[in-house]
Structure 1
Amino acid sequence: MFTAKNFLTGFTAAALLGGASVANAETVSITAQDQTIMNDTVIAERVVAEEDGYLVLYTVKNDGNGFATVDQPVGYTPVNAGVTENVLVTPSPSIPSGDRMVLMLHTDATGDTPGEFEFMSDPSKDGPFLIDGYVTMLVIKAK
């Protein structure tokens, strides 16, 4: 079965922590800081997107051997093409203090219904936004 988890398990600690988290930062980027999650909300200070899409929040899973992978999407919010500031994502379930999380841009171009985030039910639709094969994402930590 093809699940969101299976789609993203190729991301290891090297990708999560090695600085390869944002592709083509001049045009597409996510700006956020480690943060205390208040009112069950994660905030990205600034998102730059080439097209309408979604900012998706993922949990991070540690395998116990020093490797980490992007795990499950736990929240998302739409973003418009261009610059959007103070983007709020509400995770469900909430992210515990000390856990890492990933903010990732997804496209709205591959689903059947524009304006509807279809990745949660079908990972072949509205998948991660890619530039030259790289996912636009940022790892932050819940304080």
Structure 2
Amino acid sequence: MRKLAILALAASALGATPALADHLNLDVNAVKTDGATITFPSALIDKNGFVVIHEVVNGNVVVPASIGNTFIEAGTTENVVVTADYPLKDGEDFIAMLHYDTDGDGKYSFGEGMTDVDTPALNAEEKPYVKPFKAGMSAM
């Protein structure tokens, strides 16, 4: 049931323009991809957490599975580099999502069977903070 709720939240967030939040931000306007390396100009998060990359397959965000993540400390981090599990193809759609490090171990643990730790950071509308982007291109 929890997985279905998370899927619904991610899907609804994908369908709408992500809301701005004063405690969260991820700049995808000049995101760069080079093979499996994704570089975001900056990220803002109010607690230690992660920038997480999710695939988009047939228009649907694949969650809770992810293809890459990187730890970021609370505050603003410049030049955030995430290494994906495989090289990204130009023009493919992806979602970057902010998650909190809820167990404080600095390791991303959210996933199948573990959706109660390292949970998504929520925007002003209480939905997961997500930003869509295309590999090899500027923001969508």
Scaled to the shorter chain, the TM-score interval is 0.7 to 0.9
Q: Deviations over 1:14-61 (max 9, x none)?
A: 632531x2441x331100236552142111111010000111011112
Q: Indicate if the aligned counterparts of 2:30 and 2:41 stay in contact, CA closer than 8 A.
A: no
* Alignment map for 1:84-123 (pairs within 5 Å): 84-109=77-102, 111=103, 114-120=105-111, 122-123=114-115
Q: Root-mean-square deviation (CA), in Å?
A: 2.4
Label 1:90 to 1:127 Cα distance change in 2 as closer, same or farther (>3 A): same
| 1:85 partner letter | E
| Structure-2 separation of matches of 1:48 and 1:54 | 10
Q: Indicate if the aligned counterparts of 1:31 and 1:46 stay in contact, CA closer than 8 A.
A: yes
Label 1:30 to 1:94 Cα distance change in 2 as closer, same or farther (>3 A): same
TM-score, length basis structure 1: 0.78
Q: Indicate if the aligned counterparts of 1:8 and 1:70 stay in contact, CA closer than 8 A.
A: no
Aligned residues: 131
| Structure-1 separation of matches of 2:31 and 2:20 | 23
Which runs of no fewer than 5 residues in structure 2 stay unpaired? none
Which runs of no fewer than 5 residues in structure 1 stay unpaired? 63-67
Q: Indicate if the aligned counterparts of 1:60 and 1:101 stay in contact, CA closer than 8 A.
A: yes
TM-score, length basis structure 2: 0.79
Percent identical: 24
Match of 1:120, SS? coil
Matched, 1:70 2:68: no
Q: Which residue of 1 aligns with 2:51?
A: 55
